Amino acid sequence: MPAEASSLSSLKVAVASDLHLGSRTSGKFMDRFIEKTNSINGDIVLLPGDILEGSDSSTESIYFEEKMREIKSVHGVFASSGNHEHYGRGGNNVPAFFGNAGINYSMTQLLLSTMHSLSKE
């Protein structure tokens, strides 16, 4: 983006991938992950794949959705799928999971949203 299109001088991006959230993921891990991610005070948080793992247990999914809603950023949290979102889930309910977690599930959405936000600053 041309510098004259925005007054933004920097953009802090937090990135986390390969979390493989599933039946073996502890609450302690989730608490530490949320705390560390939020401590970065990112303008944007990117989750580029392999966030989920294994079966689509509704109890498990609800817990992870609730925890992921705790991630904070200025311009939003964005995710795309990796291959592990499809193991055991067959890709089913992956968009719903991210939507319920308050996470934008599309890198296209990220680009459009960010460009729009930055052009206003």
What is the CATH number for 42? 3.60.21.10
Structural domain includes residue 43? yes
Structural domain includes residue 31? yes
Whole-prediction pTM value? 0.79
How confident is the model at residue 59, as a pLDDT?
75
User: Stretch 43-67: mean pLDDT, rounded?
Assistant: 85
User: Stretch 28-55: mean pLDDT, rounded?
Assistant: 92
Q: Give the structural domain span for 38.
A: 11-120
Using the predicted structure, report yes or no on whether residue 41 has a pLDDT greater than 90. yes
Query: What is the number of alpha carbons within 13 Å of residue 18 lying toward its C-beta?
Result: 0
Cα 67–68–69 angle (5° rounding)? Answer: 90
Please count the structural domains in the chain: 1
Q: What is the pLDDT of residues 82-119, one digit of tens each?
A: 877 776 555 567 888 899 999 998 756 556 665 566 56
Structural domain includes residue 1? no
Cα 15–51–16 angle (5° rounding)? Answer: 15
The pLDDT-based confidence of 45 (bands split at 50, 70, 90) is very high
